[in-house]
Amino acid sequence: MNFASVRIITDDVDRLATFYELVTGTVATRPAPVFAEIRTEASTLAIASPVTVGMLGERAPRPATNTSVILEFEVDDVDAEFARLAGALDDVVLEPTTMPWGNRSTLFADPDGNLVNLFSRPA
């Protein structure tokens, strides 16, 4: 079994896909207006409208309500990535910091409020 993807449910697929295109430097594939995917070497970030989970009824995920998951992207240079993205970030949660376990990290919120961590491991 391989971990394949994470799907974010959003009310604005284009806005979120555009944001993650900027973060990852990868162009999203958009097979339908209600769905986009950003494929990296390691996994896929799917971005979808609530209509894609409508059949789940009351158990369907609700947009912009995540308070328990952090999306993490490993990068070569956290400080350089932060500098590249800083002007596009509305909600910086943690500026580049070396964590007690040695990782260098920066955290920010995406336009729906989901936390994103860019990190690098110690050399």
CA atoms of 33 and 49, how far apart (whole Å): 8
| Domain spans, the chain | 1-55, 64-123
Tell whether domain 1-55 is in CATH 3.30.70.1230. no
The three-class DSSP label of residue 123 is coil
Per-residue pLDDT at 13: 98
Per-residue pLDDT at 63: 97
Among residues 44, 4, 50, which one has the least CA distance to residue 24? 44
Contacts of residue 14, defined as CB under 8 A and 6 or more positions apart, other chains included, come to 36
Strands (E), the chain: 5-9, 29-32, 35-39, 44-48, 70-74, 92-98, 104-109, 115-120
- pLDDT tens per residue across span 19-44: 999 999 999 999 999 999 999 998 99
Per-residue pLDDT at 59: 97
Low-confidence ranges of the chain (pLDDT < 70): none
- So what's the architecture of 64-123 in CATH? Roll (3.10)
pTM: predicted TM-score of the whole model, two decimal places = 0.94
Tally of CB atoms within 10 A around 70: 12
